[in-house]
Amino acid sequence: MSPLVAVILITVTIESKGAAVKPVVSFNPNWGTVLAYESVTLTCNVAPPAQREQKYHWYRNNRNLTINDQSFTVNYAEEKDIGDYQCRAGNGDISEAVRLEVSGAHVILQVPPLVFEGDTLSLRCHSYDKFPAVETTFHKDHKEIKSLGTASELLVGKVNMETSGLYKCSRRIKSHSSFHNYSDQVDIVVQEMFSLPQIKVSPDQVTEGDHMTITCDTKLSPHRETTELQFVFYRNGHNVQGFSSSNQYGVPSAQLEHSGNYACEVQTPTGSVRKRSNGQQILLHGRAHAYRAVIISVALLSILLVAAALTYKYRHNLALPLACNGLLHQKQGSDRSTALVRLPNEEVDRPENENLSASQESPKV
């Protein structure tokens, strides 16, 4: 910060408080669709540390459920249990909605309700246990990817954005002494865990001796806000602050040698997702530069003040003659008007009267 700005402005330091983290709804088992009469447990996950004796609120399709526990189980799921589920801890923010489907089909392709990059993805071609099943096959975008025989679950592994696609499973189910083909398909969209980080520096123009703060700015998905990210900072390719939970790197009294190309990297606790920012060149200015900035600023301010004074004087001098001329024209116009006005009882001198008066005033011979 330049000395001029420091003189003009009063710096007020305000402690920045992080926004409240929304809770996240999860299912166990982690399938977005279950067969009718099966069970699923829902949990309201909050960012640590969780408060003891915390009261929770649950909602389905924006309607309040009479449930105050952190977790509850839907037993013997049926059509009335289908909907978007949300939760809230105490008086905090409400979570994003997570949808539960209940199906009565012979075969369903089960996938997690939400899939994020870095997740380990499993798919299940599921049917009722009382009906024997064989020839289970999985497809992606109309191409076969795996045939499992009697097994029902396929481990896809760690996913990225390219894992998205149309998935289908099929199997032969025995019913009434014969096998029949059934299938189901789901369009899986892998979502971004967190945005690509960006380097931000404060203050915008760093002068030698300033307290410089570099922030690694990223945003978690609302459905994964409870994830604790880790941050690392680099200058000119060298590590200046190792992985930690802080997204800021501070230099209390920055020097010219702290100039350089800064970048940061963000990862999940397991390292399953890791993203690096683009580099940003940060140039620190010396005190001489700051003094030159002061001189230039003062000079510009002086020029502006002189220009304003000259403009005011010019306009004032120009306005005075115009005002005088206006008064003069007004007075002359008033005199002419007076000369043309006659009183009602005033008589106009006639020529004969003028001659008579002249003869009377002449001296006698």
Per-residue pLDDT reduced to its tens digit, 208-222: 999 999 999 999 999
Residues 281 and 205 grouped into a single domain: yes
Residue 352 lies in a domain: no
Q: Alpha-carbon distance 172 to 132, whole Å? A: 8
Judge whether 362 lies within some domain.
no
Q: Indicate if 153 and 221 belong to the same structural domain.
A: no
Predicted confidence band of residue 355 (pLDDT cuts 50, 70, 90)? very low
pLDDT 10s digits, 44-74: 999 876 677 789 999 999 999 999 999 999 9
9: pLDDT confidence band, cut at 50, 70 and 90? very low
Is 209 in the same domain as 159? no
Coil, strand, or helix at residue 13? Answer: coil
Task: Write out the two tokens for 187.
Answer: 């369009």
- Structure confidence at residue 318 (pLDDT): 67
For the chain, the distance separating the N- and C-terminal CA atoms, rounded to the nearest angstrom, is 110
Peptide bond before residue 3 is cis, with ω within 30 degrees of 0: no
Round to whole Å and give the CA distance between 12 and 35.
59
Write out pLDDT tens, residues 73-104: 999 999 999 999 999 999 999 999 999 999 99
Radius of gyration of the chain from its Cα atoms, rounded to whole angstroms: 43
Residue 193: closest CA among 246, 272, 87, 98: 272
Q: Is residue 3 part of a domain?
A: no
Tell me: do 28 and 88 sit in the same domain: yes
Co-location of 198 and 271 in the same domain: yes
- The residue out of 235, 261, 285 marking a domain boundary is 285
Whether 332 is covered by a domain: the verdict is no
Give the pTM.
0.70
Query: Is 241 in the same domain as 275?
Result: yes
Residues 6+ apart with CB under 8 A from 19: none
Mind listing the pLDDT tens digit for each residue in 117-153?
999 999 999 999 999 999 999 999 999 999 999 999 9
Residues 149 and 206 in one domain: no
Do residues 201 and 250 share a domain? yes
Residue 55 belongs to domain spanning: 23-104
In terms of domains, do 232 and 150 share one? no
CA dihedral 287, 292, 293, 297 (to 10 degrees): 140
Q: Within this chain, do residues 200 and 175 fall inside the same structural domain, yes or no?
A: no
- Measure the CA–CA gap between 100 and 113, rounded to whole angstroms: 8
For 280, the 3-state DSSP assignment is strand
Residue 212: count other Cβ atoms within 10 Å of its Cβ.
20
Residue 242: inside a domain, yes or no? Answer: yes
Residue at a domain's end among 191, 215, 232: 191
Q: With respect to residue 6, please indicate whether it lies within any of the assigned structural domains.
A: no
Residue where a domain stops, chosen among 77, 104, 131: 104
Helix or strand or coil: residue 126?
A: strand
Query: Tens digit of pLDDT for each residue in 289-344?
Result: 555 555 666 778 878 888 887 877 777 776 655 555 555 555 555 555 444 444 44
Tokens of 41: 């447990």
Residues 179 and 209 placed together within one structural domain of the fold: no
Answer whether residue 357 is part of any domain. no
On whether the CB atoms of residues 226 and 23 are closer than 8 A, the answer is yes
pLDDT at 358 over 90: no
Beta-carbon neighbour count of residue 251 at 10 Å?
15
- The string of pLDDT tens digits covering residues 160-207 is 999 999 999 999 999 888 999 999 999 999 999 999 999 999 999 999
Q: How many domains does the chain have?
A: 4
The answer as to whether 353 is a domain residue is: no
The answer on 187 and 134 residing in a single domain is yes
∠ at Cα 30 (165, 112), nearest 5°?
10
Report the CATH number that the domain containing residue 173 is assigned in CATH: 2.60.40.10
pLDDT score for 240: 96
- The pLDDT assigned to 126 comes to 97
- Cα(28)–Cα(53) distance, integer angstroms: 23
